[in-house]
Amino acid sequence: MTTLANEKQILMLSLFEEKEIKIIIQHWIRILHVKFGWLQDFDKIVVNYVTIIFMFDVFHLSSKLLKTFIGHTDDVCGIDYSAFDDNQMICSGSIDKTIRVWDVNKNKQIRLFNEHLYAVYCVKFSQYHQHKNSNNVICYSSLDTAIHFWDINDNKQLQILNGHTNWISCIEFSTFNSGRYLCSGSNDDSIRLWDIETFESLHVFNGHTNTVRCVDFSKLQNNNNNKSNDIGVIGGNGYTICSGSFDKTIRVWDIETAKQFIIFKGHEDSLYSVKYGSNKNTILSGSIDKSVRLWDIRFNQQIQIFHGHTRGITCVEYSPFVVNNIEIGDNSNVICSGSFDNTIRFWDIRSNKKELYIIKGNEKENCGILCIKFLQIKSSYSDFDINMCYGSSNGYICIWGN
């Protein structure tokens, strides 16, 4: 039987081998003048290789609660993670009307924005502002129908986006163009696409018949000829948006035409979370009907359903882990889900059998898991470790890891 120590040793060796591969590639580039297009293809192989080394068994056998950030006095509805100048930070938004920034290494709160008059539902670090101006900016949405940008260094508001006519439940930055585009979903039943460079509304997507609770952008496409990933052109690249609503449907929208081209029906209650897979062919969803479901966009159908939670699902995520699936003789990706039942459950994406592992949140009465984020934390023996951060309805933010 493979022991935990052996698993960790394998992990460390794999990380060292990864570094050696990177050195070899750099050497080949120098001596062979390798074309960039070929390098992109080879880099995909390296990325796949690195992904495989994060075995789920290592995480679940040795992970524990590492840190707890205490400060919020009500539901933590949104969290995000980023590293600015080697400073690893988490931002959080809460029903208590505050936004807080936490230093992961020092385990303490470093910023507080408490001048907002309404509950904060979603917070995101703006990678676009970091990429363009090296500014540390947080984007957040709330009950006031506007989207706000807050410069956390100068502690001032930069910009407000107006357009929605009701409270905004979700925001998401594009995975392409350095996060230049922002998508928002609202209680006005619409989705809006924004250009952060110009702060203009580009498209309005109409079709849902109830609150749009969650949105996601399709992932960055590694197309050698797709130079527009680096410039300000969004149309013509095949990018899409998916959305989940209280109308119990998931819809997929073409960004260029602003038209819906797929609708998934199957959930029996409101959608709370939708996520694209590593390609744009699958969507993961979580609903108040207590189920997690996987959908295939190519064939327009549900392909998996995961049961186990005893209350509604609040969030779903594709984890960076894989697990050895004996039935198929290969590794499978691991997904996870958070719920009002105060648990986080991990699942083999290729098997709808019982969950692989359960993490229980704080034992406080009526506490639930509201949001999840995976973090790449610097490690003493490798480039980074994979930790998991979650926000809960008791106001706590917790980090699990090795």
pLDDT of 222: 60
Which comes out higher in pLDDT, residue 329 or 3? 329
Is there a single domain that holds both residue 35 and residue 66? Answer: no
Which comes out higher in pLDDT, residue 158 or 377? 158
Q: What are 213-223's pLDDT values in tens digits?
A: 999 999 876 65
Is there a single domain that holds both residue 303 and residue 157? Answer: yes
Mean predicted confidence (pLDDT) in 325-335: 83
pLDDT of 154: 86
The residue from 53, 70, 89 where one domain ends is 53
Which comes out higher in pLDDT, residue 279 or 381? 279
pLDDT of 96: 96
Is there a single domain that holds both residue 49 and residue 69? Answer: no
pLDDT of 234: 60
pLDDT of 37: 42
pLDDT of 43: 42
Which structural domain range is residue 7 located in?
1-53
Mean predicted confidence (pLDDT) in 170-179: 94
Is there a single domain that holds both residue 312 and residue 266? Answer: yes
Number of domains in the chain: 2
Is there a single domain that holds both residue 185 and residue 95? Answer: yes
Is there a single domain that holds both residue 9 and residue 145? Answer: no
Average the pLDDT over each of 62-76, 77-91, 311-325, 331-345 and give the range with the smallest value: 77-91
Q: Enter the pTM of the model.
A: 0.83
Is there a single domain that holds both residue 201 and residue 167? Answer: yes
Is there a single domain that holds both residue 49 and residue 67? Answer: no
Is there a single domain that holds both residue 31 and residue 101? Answer: no
The model's confidence at residue 99, banded by pLDDT at 50, 70 and 90, is very high
HEC per residue, the chain: CCCHHHHHHHHHHHHHHHHHHHHHHHHHHHHHCCCHHHHHHHHHHHHHHHHHCCEHHHHHHHCEEEEEECCCCCCEEEEEEEEECCEEEEEEEECCCCEEEEECCCCEEEEEECCCCCCEEEEEECHHHHHHHCCCEEEEEECCCEEEEEECCCCEEEEEEECCCCCEEEEEECCCHHHCEEEEEECCCEEEEEECCCCEEEEEEECCCCCEEEEEECCCCCCCCCHHHHCCCCCCCCCEEEEEECCCEEEEEECCCCEEEEEEECCCCCEEEEEECCCCCEEEEEECCCCEEEEECCCCEEEEEECCCCCCEEEEEEEEEEEEECCCCEEEEEEEEEECCCEEEEEECCCCCCCCEEEECCCCCCCCEEEEEEEEECCCCCCCEEEEEEEECCCCEEEEEC
Is there a single domain that holds both residue 48 and residue 123? Answer: no
Is there a single domain that holds both residue 284 and residue 378? Answer: yes
pLDDT of 384: 67
CATH number for the domain spanning 151: value is 2.130.10.10
